[in-house]
Structure 1
């Protein structure tokens, strides 16, 4: 355990930031799962996709994830959604 006041304060700040980052990450992971679930069912995902993008961007904005990681996650999410939509369309034919 730290003995110096500033070190103690830094530990407290670090713990607070860690909790906030975990919350942001959890929120966008949940939003991504919701999008993928809707895409698998063949439902409209436009609203939930924009919500997931917003959550990912907010996580990147506050530093919970890197901005390039956010871009990569959004790109992969769209790719998966399109894949699911193509599967649903072929299954309906």
Structure 2
């Protein structure tokens, strides 16, 4: 058990951050799945912007690696562009 006031605060804040990161990461994964399931190109193009910013935010906060975010965005962009054909 922590012996210092600051250590107790660190435990509380770490738990809050962990839960926030978990929520945002899960929300983003769900949004990615939803985008992959879309068939309408125009709707998918609009939603891609939202998902892209969600991925960028996760990468900026170090929840996921920046290269992973880039790889997912690239694959999603290819998917959205393939809907046009």
TM-score if structure 2 supplies the norm length? 0.79
Structure 1's consecutive aligned runs of 4 or more residues displaced over 4 angstroms after TM superposition are none
Unmatched 5+ stretches in structure 2: none
Q: For residue 34 of structure 2, what is the aligned residue in structure 1?
A: 34
Structure of larger gyration radius: 1
**Contact 1:34 1:48 (8 Å CA) reproduced:** no
Over aligned residue pairs, what C-alpha RMSD do you find? 2.1
The 2-side partners of 1:31 and 1:3 are apart by 42
How many aligned positions are there?
A: 83
- Cα deviation for residue 82 of structure 1 reads 5.5
